Amino acid sequence: MKILSINAGSSSLKFTLIEMPEEKVVVSGTFEKIGGEGSFYTIKYNGEKIVKDAILDNHRSAVRLLLDDLIGLNIISSYDEIKGVGHRVVHGGDVYSDSVVIDANVLQTIEDLVPLAPLHNPANLVGIKSFTDILPTVTQVAVFDTAFHQTMDKEEFIYPVPFEWFTKYGVRKYGFHGTSHKYVSEFVENNIKKGLKVINCHIGNGASICAIKDGKSIDTSMGFTPTVGVMMGTRCGDVDMGIIPYIMDKTGDSLDGVISDLNKRSGMTAISDAGSDLRDIEEGYENGNDRCVLAINMYVKKIVNYVSMYNTLLEGADVITFTAGVGENSYLIRKLVCERLACLGVKIDNELNDGLKGKFTKLSTDDSKIEVYLVPTDEELMIAKDTYEFIK
Ligand code: ADP
**53, 94, 145, 261: the active-site residue:** 145
205 and 290 together in one domain? yes
210 and 112 together in one domain? no
Distance of CA 324 to the CA centre of its chain: 8
- Global pTM reads 0.96
Q: Write the DSSP assignment of 230-245 as a string of letters.
A: S--SS---S--TTHHH
62-87 mean pLDDT: 95
130 and 10 together in one domain? yes
241 and 139 together in one domain? no
| Tens digits of residue pLDDT in 282-332 | 999 999 999 999 999 999 999 999 999 999 999 999 999 999 999 999 999
Q: For the chain, state the CA radius of gyration.
A: 21
Contacts 24+ apart (CB under 8 A), 21-28: 21/388, 21/392, 23/381, 23/384, 23/385, 25/380, 25/381, 26/2, 26/75, 27/70, 27/73, 27/75, 28/380
128 and 203 together in one domain? no
Residue 231 above 90 pLDDT? yes
User: Is 145 part of the annotated catalytic residue set?
Assistant: yes
198 and 315 together in one domain? yes
Virtual CA dihedral for 279, 281, 285, 288, nearest 10 degrees?
A: 130
Residue 385, in any domain of the structure: no
User: Which positions ≥6 away from 71 have C-beta within 8 Å?
Assistant: 77, 78, 79
Residue 350 above 90 pLDDT? yes
Q: Which amino acid is at 67?
A: L
The ligand 1 site (C-beta within 6 Å) comprises 204-206, 233, 277-279, 282, 324-326, 329-330
| Predicted local confidence at residue 119, as pLDDT | 87
Res. 67 pLDDT band, cuts 50 70 90: very high
| Predicted local confidence at residue 285, as pLDDT | 98
Residue 154, in any domain of the structure: no
Residue 78 above 90 pLDDT? yes
Q: Tell me the CATH number at 373.
A: 3.30.420.40
Number of compact structural domains in the chain: 2
